[in-house]
Amino acid sequence: SFVIGSDGYVYEGRGWHWVGAHTLGHNTRGFGVAFVGNYTAELPAKAALHTVQDLLPGCAVRAGLLRPDYELLGHRQLVRTDCPGDALFSLLRTWPRFAA
């Protein structure tokens, strides 16, 4: 599990080698990334988006910690929540790895 700040930095929660507790019933099948902030009406900073879309997954795939054919889902697709906020979820839906 990881948290992304508006500065684009990755802050390790449980990291790669421990099962997270971010999405009940789905934690063993993936890892969670949270953006610091409320993204119901606005988007995270460009640096944070770049980190989540490009940097973090690229590093993880190269290190063998993430499958190259990974899929991206919003928290609300797995559990009953408004997370990650309407504005951010709308953007995530346009990313190539998004799984509808």
Tell me the pTM. 0.85
| Full pLDDT tens readout for the chain, 100 residues | 889 999 999 998 877 776 666 766 666 677 888 899 999 999 999 999 999 999 999 999 999 999 999 999 888 888 888 889 999 999 999 999 999 8
Query: What is the model's pLDDT at position 31?
Result: 80
Q: How far apart are CA 64 and CA 84, in angstroms?
A: 27
Query: What is the model's pLDDT at position 13?
Result: 80
DSSP string, the chain: -EEE-TTS-EEESS-SSS---SSTTTGGG---EEESS--SSSPPPHHHHHIIIIIHHHHHHHTTSS-TT--B--GGGTSSS-TT-HHHHHHHTTSTTB--
Ordered by where they begin, the domains of the chain are 2-93 (3.40.80.10)
